[in-house]
């Protein structure tokens, strides 16, 4: 490792080289250990030994936008890759108010009863604006947040959905390498982020509420069709009948969709997160699914497809980034769009002139 004085960031007292530095009386040195970044080998060693502090630091690197952090992070992830994969990954989605936090809390305790370790991650591309609308406050998961076998990490907050999702996916690899054999990925039920979560988990669980009558529940396009299981929360007390009715409605609606590729028939169950009723049944369903798809080969197939998906997704996202963040394109994009909107230019000709400019610029 580089000596502090050699590093450009070092702004403090210059000590002559070769002289043994006093242990901890020098205030500059006191601060150093926090700043010193672990080496790749140290990260990998710590993670694979299950050191949660080092895991946390590695995730922070993954989430960092600094190129020097990213390059270390990528090396760490790559070295952790052979130790990853041995887990059940469950995506958990639901509209705000469906009781996701309470549910994840009881779900988490339930799966930990069987042993193992649980990591709870999140994808919330809106968290930058809302300063972490989900999982920002660990105390919302009262029991899990103090559980010795759980690791809770809020959604990475930087950048596009693609970027946020990639970071969460990479965090899954690190968590698995650290021995976490159950991974929950929470997301808020508002659209695009579900697709991202769906493409990194084995089972997609959708939490719903019994609505008032047959009224809409704010499920966005396509989300219901991604669900391997739909669970109606708050099936307790006065609400029990309504919850059962909602379950029937969802079952009927699911019939209208084609059978999922997995061969699994999505189930609809009711439960109460608050009163801890029906939680076992929810997880029996998840385990049943995992057995089912491990047996028919879909589990392996799907994970492979997901890896491919993320490779192509990364490529396509970065191709778009390169184009739309090109200064010349940024300068002319609005104008072209206006010309298209005013009917003076076809969409295709506008696209062509932008692309010509871009490729010309890349050559220079």
60 binds its own copies (CB under 8 A): no
14 binds its own copies (CB under 8 A): no
CB atoms within 10 A of CB 203: 22
Measure CA 199 to chain center: 10
Q: Binding residues for its own copies, how many (CB under 8 A)?
A: 66
Span 141-180, contacts to its own copies by CB under 8 A = 166, 169-170, 173
Shortest spacing between CB 7 and its own copies, in angstroms = 23
Neighbouring residues of 233: CB distance < 8 A, sequence distance ≥ 6 = 94, 98, 99, 103, 207, 208, 209, 243, 271, 272, 273
Angle between helices 52-63 and 161-177 (to 10 degrees): 160
> How far is Cα 254 from Cα 257, in angstroms, rounded to an integer?
5
Among 37, 39, 130, 316, binds its own copies (CB under 8 A): 316
CB 83 within 8 A of CB 176: yes
Residue span 101-140 as binding mask against its own copies, x where in contact by CB under 8 A, dash where not: ----------------------------------------
Q: Which stretch binds its own copies (CB under 8 A): 126-134, 152-160, 267-275, 351-359?
A: 351-359
> Which single residue is written with the structure tokens 């002559």?
16
> Which single residue is written with the structure tokens 């500059």?
28
Among 323, 326, 332, 357, binds its own copies (CB under 8 A): 323
Neighbouring residues of 8: CB distance < 8 A, sequence distance ≥ 6 = none
Q: What 8-state DSSP symbol labels residue 272?
A: B
> Which single residue is written with the structure tokens 């089972």?
203
Both tokens of 158, joined, read 């930087």
Nearer to its own copies, 108 or 179 (CB): 179
Nearer to its own copies, 55 or 111 (CB): 55
> How far is Cα 5 from Cα 19, in angstroms, rounded to an integer?
12
Measure CA 12 to chain center: 39
Shortest spacing between CB 206 and its own copies, in angstroms = 12
Nearer to its own copies, 41 or 311 (CB): 311
Residue span 267-286 as binding mask against its own copies, x where in contact by CB under 8 A, dash where not: --------------------
Shortest spacing between CB 355 and its own copies, in angstroms = 5
CB atoms within 10 A of CB 296: 13
Span 170-229, contacts to its own copies by CB under 8 A = 170, 173, 214-222, 224-226
Q: Site residues (CB under 8 A) for its own copies?
A: 74, 77-78, 81-82, 85, 166, 169-170, 173, 214-222, 224-226, 249-250, 252-253, 255-259, 304, 307-316, 318-320, 322-323, 336-337, 340-341, 343-352, 354-355, 359, 362-363
């Amino acid at each position: 490792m580089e000596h502090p004085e050699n590093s450009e960031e070092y702004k403090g007292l210059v000590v002559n080289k070769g002289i043994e530095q006093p242990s901890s009386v020098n205030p500059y040195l006191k601060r150093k250990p926090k700043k010193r970044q672990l080496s790749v080998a140290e990260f990998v060693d710590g993670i694979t030994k299950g050191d949660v502090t080092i895991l946390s630091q590695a995730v922070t690197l993954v989430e960092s936008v600094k190129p020097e952090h990213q390059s270390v992070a990528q090396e760490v992830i790559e070295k952790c890759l052979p130790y990853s994969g041995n887990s059940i990954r469950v995506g958990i989605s639901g509209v705000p108010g469906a009781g996701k936090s309470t549910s994840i809390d009881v779900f988490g305790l339930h799966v930990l009863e069987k042993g193992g370790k649980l990591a709870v991650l999140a994808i919330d591309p809106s968290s930058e604006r809302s300063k972490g609308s989900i999982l920002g406050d660990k105390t919302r998961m009262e029991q899990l947040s103090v559980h010795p076998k759980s690791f809770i990490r809020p959604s990475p907050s930087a950048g596009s959905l693609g970027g946020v999702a990639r970071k969460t996916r990479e965090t899954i690899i690190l968590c698995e390498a650290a021995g976490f054999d159950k991974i929950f990925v929470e997301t808020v039920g508002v659209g695009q982020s579900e697709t991202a979560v769906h493409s990194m988990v084995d089972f997609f669980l959708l939490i719903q509420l019994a609505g008032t009558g047959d009224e809409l529940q704010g499920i966005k396009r396509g989300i219901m069709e991604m669900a391997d299981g739909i669970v109606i929360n708050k099936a307790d007390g006065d609400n029990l009948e309504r919850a059962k009715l909602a379950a029937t409605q969802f079952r009927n609606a699911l019939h209208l969709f084609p059978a999922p590729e997995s061969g699994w028939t999505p189930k609809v169950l009711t439960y109460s997160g608050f009163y801890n009723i029906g939680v076992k049944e929810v997880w029996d369903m998840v385990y049943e699914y995992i057995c089912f798809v491990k047996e028919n080969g879909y589990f392996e197939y799907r994970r492979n497809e997901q890896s491919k998906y993320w490779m192509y997704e990364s490529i396509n996202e970065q191709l778009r980034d390169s184009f739309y963040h090109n200064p010349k394109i940024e300068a002319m994009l609005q104008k072209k769009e206006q010309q298209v909107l005013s009917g003076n230019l076809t969409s295709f000709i506008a696209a062509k002139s932008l692309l010509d400019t871009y490729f010309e610029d890349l050559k220079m």
